[in-house]
Amino acid sequence: MTTAVLITGTSSGIGRATALRLARNPEFTVYATARRPESLTDLAEAGARVMALDVTDEMSMADAVAKVEAEHGSVGVLINNAGYGAYGTVEETDLDGVRRQFETNVFGLARMTQLVLPGMRRAGRGRIINVGSMGGRLVFPAGGYYHASKYAVEALTDALRFEVAPFGVKVSLIEPGLIRTGFGDTAARTLSGSAAPAGPYAALNAAADQQMARSYRSTRLSAPPEAVAEVIHRAAVSAAPRPRYVVTAAARVLVHARRLLGARAFDAYLRAQFKGAA
């Protein structure tokens, strides 16, 4: 019997690339999900089973897990990928938008995990792969709330990994750097709409927008979603998956630089990157 792989947020980007890659593995039956399953036609053609799943809706999440368990007994691999970045300064960002972001990035991930774990424990095995970000290890200005959601994913994953190990469940965290998906466009759009053009943070917001645009265009600093899909596949099939996988060389440099430099030196680095904004 094949292993059931349930992936959230497969309509684009990392989720779509991951579903396509894992669907080629004959050991897996891949369940690709999105709020609008009609957007997943190409994944169905590639061999994935497509389902509606909204990680902000309790009934939707419970139904999706129940369907997989009805066919396989338990979810073998849960890949918590659904998430997005809404940007803006701490002072100016509307907190209703922050709550929506946490519902997807944090609470949806947590609830999906809660729903699959009873079945995994009964089976005595399972794997949970959370897609976080290098943004859970360091912070860029005008992205505090997004980073806060990814820091939360770091904490939840660390606790979960220890808690479920006795039941045969293995947990890994994927920490991508800049990935050429629609993420950068969403971040830039929310940033531009988060504050008045002539507000007190106008220079910072403009600098952040320009910095994101340059970085996502750079093939040296960013990577395609297939690079993350390859790492997720590795975490899904490894007999001894690593607790963390940082994806892209640039992300590894930044994560270690933040750790080694400390707050003041990293702030100085940011001031150099965001010239005229601080």
**Separation between Cα atoms, residue 62 and residue 67, nearest integer Å:** 9
Q: Given its phi and psi angles, is residue 262 left (phi above 0), alpha (psi -120 to 50 degrees) or beta?
A: left
- Residue 199 placed within a domain: yes
**Counted domains in the chain:** 1
The angle subtended at Cα 22 by Cα 255 and Cα 30, nearest 5°, is 120
pLDDT for 162 beyond 90: yes
pLDDT digits (tens, 9 = 90+) for 163-178: 999 999 999 999 999 9
- Residue 127 placed within a domain: yes
What is the model's pLDDT at position 199? 85
Give start and end residues of each alpha helix (H) in the chain: 13-23, 41-45, 58-72, 95-102, 109-123, 144-164, 183-192, 202-217, 225-237, 249-273
- Residue 157 placed within a domain: yes
- Residue 220 placed within a domain: yes
**Separation between Cα atoms, residue 22 and residue 29, nearest integer Å:** 8
pLDDT digits (tens, 9 = 90+) for 259-270: 999 999 999 999
Is this model's pTM higher than 0.75 or not? yes
Q: What is the maximum alpha-carbon separation in the chain?
A: 60
The CATH number assigned to the domain holding 232 equals: 3.40.50.720
- Residue 213 placed within a domain: yes
What is the model's pLDDT at position 33? 98
Residue 249 contacts by C-beta under 8 Å, 6 or more apart in sequence? none
Q: The domain containing residue 137 runs over which residues? A: 3-273
Task: Give me the phi and psi of 224, to 5 degrees please.
Answer: -75, 160
- Residue 81 placed within a domain: yes
**Separation between Cα atoms, residue 241 and residue 243, nearest integer Å:** 7
Percent of the chain residues topping a pLDDT of 90: 80
The residue assigned the tokens 């607790």 is: 243
CA 125 to chain centre: 23
Tokens representing 257 are 């630089």
- Mean pLDDT over each residue of the chain, to the nearest integer: 93
Can 151 be counted among the known catalytic residues? Answer: no
Provide the pLDDT confidence category of residue 195 given band limits of 50, 70 and 90. low
Q: Tell me whether strands 178-179 and 244-247 are parallel, antiparallel or unpaired.
A: unpaired
The residue assigned the tokens 């992205």 is: 143
Question: Could you say which of 145, 146, 201, 216 is catalytic?
Answer: 146
- Residue 278 placed within a domain: no
pLDDT for 187 beyond 90: no
- Residue 250 placed within a domain: yes
